[in-house]
Structure 1
Amino acid sequence: MPTLFTLPIPSTGGTITCTTPDPDTPSLQDSPETDVSKIYILTFTSPADNRLTPSFISTFLLALDILEHRYPRGVVVSTSGIGKFYSNGLDLEVVAQTEGFLEKWLWVLFRRLITYPMPTIAHLNGHAFAGGFMLAMYHDYRIMNPKRGFLCLNEIDLGVPLQAPMMDIFRAKLSPTTFRDIVLEGPRISGGEALQKGVVDGLGGAEEVLGFIAERKLVGKVTSGIYGIMKEEMYRGVLAGLDGHKGNLEWRESIEERRGLLEKEAVQRVEEWEKNEKGKAKL
């Protein structure tokens, strides 16, 4: 595959490399109208498991900027050069040490993807856990390896509450039942299960991704120039959550305060009940 550019990820010694498909790819032979030079494959290789750190995110954002402003518009596919993982999510230690990580890095990446003026596809060739799963959901489409890898939102088991932008994308794209199960049960979802539940749009490897692009004529969807605008309107609720970080935190504080008051009242009622029960027992 022809390489367009390679960007370093300084923190891990990794890279994000942009390539275009081989024009002789079999899945494209029946689709001569698909211009393969406008299919951009971003392969991230950031040892050990493509964690979403500030350095990774900054490099990813630069790659998206380069494609938008220096190349003809087409389709962007993200995938992993590390066979086991698409992305293993956030590095919680780095997050704790990075002031404003969510607002200054993670939300910025999520916003960029959900409003990107080209179709985006996450090719999930390995595990996508937690933040990695969120990253995939912020793409327009997802194609998953049917034989290897799981999707999992495991914060319920880790005891890490999800903030609004982390929840909103699942709420916007999944059925209510699937959304509930993924958030409150944290199951590991295989490729077949993900397709059945509507979490991914197809199964397969690189050939199937290119076939999906050709079948849906995605390269041509950017010619009108409104692709990003249409997505902004589609996901205005998700964007409100991404852009309203301060308000989200204030809402959470108010909920926590109210919950504390309600719990105090509940404990008082239980104590009154216990007092009455003791009184009855003496009689």
Structure 2
Amino acid sequence: MSETPTTLYTLPIAATDGTITVTIPRPQTHPTVYLLTWISPPDNRLLTSFIETFTLALALLRTNHPAGVLITTSSSPKFYSNGLDLNHVHSQNLWWQKVYWPFMKLLLTYPMPTLALINGHAFAGGFITSMCHDYRVMNGTRGFVCMNELDFGAPLIPPLTSIFRNKLSAKTYRSIVLEARRFTGPEALKEDIVDALGGLDEAFKLIDERKLHKKAESGIYSVIRREAWRETYHLVRGDCEEVRDGDAWAQNAVRDSEEEGRAARELAERWTKTQGKAKL
């Protein structure tokens, strides 16, 4: 039986006249599986305004709704995300430190399982964004994932490569960063870059098979994610040295998680007081 999705929020992306919409696609059978869908013409570039709107959407979700599973996707038929706009990046002061590292950290440490539904091309920063999720389901007939910095002469700074080193085999990592290989859906599945092929139905199938909607119930999911992706987490957090004291690291991770929760609540409350009631 088909279900009518419930829309929670639609938030504007000012720079591109785009939007980010958060829905519950199957409210009767999966009330805590959330779908975040973006559209930011022409190709879903990760501009500052996009990241700010994305951050607000996740703050509202975390503050106002029970933990479950977060799926992200694009309503563009061609692009999941075409990555960064380097002209925009270079025009901003400390953009990596102020905008992109916090964005990666937010995805890496969000307190519920995350799944990237890669419906079209995911290049460079778009590919990295998908890799910051716990799981990936990719269109099996259309689109590529690729780190193409080698092709246009851009360096890969440490956090951008560590996420692949954290999650993939050395052979696949080499193909991604030193060959700029373009992977189709079936090729990405073979290399364990993605977990399944298909669309939203296949995403729900993966969630059900792995019981992902229950994984955040204990409240420790965010802290464990920090350990799971330790190398990348420390890089985007700005740590200069490897943490050797396990107890101290755990305390820092818990404190960091709590601070993120407070910041999310404050952001959601400010938005609700100023304009939220008119736009929900």
Q: Same fold (TM over 0.5)?
A: yes
Cα deviation for residue 244 of structure 1 reads: 2.5
Runs of 4+ in 1 over 6 A off after TM superposition: none
2:120 counterpart (117, 126, 130): 126
Q: What is the distance in 2 between the residues matched to 1:190 and 1:212?
A: 20
Matched, 1:11 2:5: no
Query: Offset at 1:101?
Result: 1.0
- 1:102 maps to which of 96, 100, 122: 96
TM-score, normalised relative to structure 2: 0.82
Q: How far apart in 1 are the matches of 2:107 and 2:189?
A: 22
- Residue in structure 1 matched with residue 225 of structure 2 by the alignment: 231
Residue in structure 2 matched with residue 54 of structure 1 by the alignment:
48
Structure-2 residue corresponding to 1:82: 76
Q: 2:156 pairs with 150, 155, 162, which one?
A: 162
Aligned residue runs from structure 1 range 210-221, under 5 A: 210-221=204-215
Q: Note the 1:1-283 alignment, pairs <5 A.
A: 1-23=5-27, 35-244=29-238
User: In structure 2, how many angstroms separate the alpha carbons of the residues matched to 1:186 and 1:245?
Assistant: 28
- In 1, the alpha carbon distance for the partners of 2:22 and 2:206 equals 19
Q: Hey, what's the Cα distance between the residues in 2 that align with 1:185 and 1:192?
A: 18
Tell me the CA shift for residue 233 of structure 1: 1.2
| SS of equivalent residue, structure 1 residue 180 | helix
Deviations 1:194-217 (A, max 9, x none): 000010011101111111111111
After superposition, the CA RMSD in angstroms is: 1.3
Counterpart-to-counterpart distance in 2, 1:130 and 1:201: 19
SS in 2 for 1:41: strand
Contact 2:102 2:237 survives alignment (8 Å): no
Give the letter for the 1:16 counterpart. Answer: I
Post-superposition offset of 1:239:
1.4
Q: How many pairs align?
A: 237
Contact 1:103 1:245 in 2 (8 A): no
**Unpaired runs of at least 5, structure 2:** 242-280
Residue 240 of structure 1 aligns with an amino acid whose one-letter code is: H
Distance 2:66 2:35 in 1: 14
Query: What is the letter of the counterpart of residue 70 of structure 1?
Result: N
Residue 8 of structure 2 aligns to a residue in which SS?
strand
Alpha-carbon distance between aligned partners in 2 of 1:175 and 1:89, rounded to the nearest angstrom? 23
Larger Rg belongs to: 1
| Alignment deviations for residues 110-160 of structure 1 (CA, whole Å, 9 cap, x no partner) | 001101110000000000000000000001110000011000100011110
Q: Give the whole-Å Cα distance in 1 for the aligned partners of 2:131 and 2:183.
A: 14
| Cross-structure match for 1:31 | none
Asked whether the equivalents of residues 151 and 188 of structure 1 are also in contact (C-alpha less than 8 Å), the reply is: yes
Question: Percent identity among equivalent residues?
Answer: 51
Deviation at 1:13, TM superposition (A): 0.5
Displacement of 1:23 in angstroms is: 5.0
In the aligned structure 1, how far is the partner of 2:235 from the partner of 2:221? 21
Distance 1:162 1:245, change over 3 A: farther
User: 1:69 corresponds to which letter in structure 2?
Assistant: T
Shift of 1:245: 7.5
* Structure 2 CA distance for partners of 1:68 and 1:23, relative to 1, 3 Å: closer
Instruction: Note the C-alpha offset of 1:237.
Output: 1.3
